[in-house]
Amino acid sequence: MAILKVARLGHPILRQVAEPIPPSEIGSPEVQRFIDDMVETMREYDGAGLAANQVHTLRQVAVIEVLANPRYADAPPVPLTVLINPVVTPLGDETEDGWEGCLSVPDLRGSLQRHLAIRVHYLDRHGEECDEIKRGLTAGTYQHEVDHLDGVLFVDRADPRTFATWEQFDRHQRDEFVRRVTRLKEELRW
Ligand code: NI
């Protein structure tokens, strides 16, 4: 396995649209090795997720995992998930404010609206079809990663007046955000 180089804001590949992977290629050693490398890279840099564009590859693959993450101490846990050719459909019109960051946008967080509930269709790393419903911050993480595959970054959707360095976020915004997420978790019972 290898740790891949992460593209930073300004690299054109972050603005390009990733191509679907033909299901017959998912089992190939090349695709499986790429998935392993993405997982290792996400873990190395404490990301909550990573999309293929971020490692200079225009294929529709993203990985998500939230365990005990020092970058996102307030986020609910999400087991390791590999998304291939994902399609997100919003469920209802409700949105929720959330703070996001991105390995491709160093030392910046911003607040933005995400759909509160989504349905996501994708193939897993074994080529199995998955159809799931996600809510709250977890739904936001899925939307963030699928946006990457469409060449969209969280800074495009955030109000620039909310931009904060991680240090300033910890000082001024984190407590209120953690309170709100805790309330949301209770409301959604997730
Ligand atoms: Ni990102």
Q: What is the pLDDT of residues 157-177, one digit of tens each?
A: 999 999 999 999 999 999 998
Domain count, the chain: 1
Q: Which of 85-89, 136-140, 183-187 has the lowest mean pLDDT?
A: 183-187
Ligand 1 centroid to Cα of residue 103, in Å, is 6
Active site residues: 145
Which whole number is the average pLDDT over 144-150?
Answer: 98
Q: Which residues contact 74 (CB under 8 A, 6 or more apart)?
A: 174, 177, 178, 181
- Domain for residue 69, yes or no? yes
Measured in degrees and rounded to the nearest 5, phi and psi for residue 166 equal -65, -35
Q: What pLDDT shows up at residue 135?
A: 93
Mean pLDDT score, 45-64: 97
> Residue 28 sits in a domain of what CATH number?
3.90.45.10
- Report CA(53)–ligand 1 centroid distance (Å): 10
Q: Is residue 5 part of a domain?
A: no
Can you tell me the mean pLDDT for 141-156?
98
In a domain, 181, yes or no: yes
Q: Residue 1: inside a domain, yes or no?
A: no
Model confidence at 24, in pLDDT bands (50, 70, 90)?
very high
Q: Judge whether 20 lies within some domain.
A: yes
Instruction: For residues 15-25, give the mean pLDDT.
Output: 98
User: Which residues form the domain of 143?
Assistant: 12-188
Give this prediction's pTM: 0.94
Distance in Å, CA 15 to ligand 1 centroid: 12
Instruction: Please report whether residue 18 resides in a domain.
Output: yes
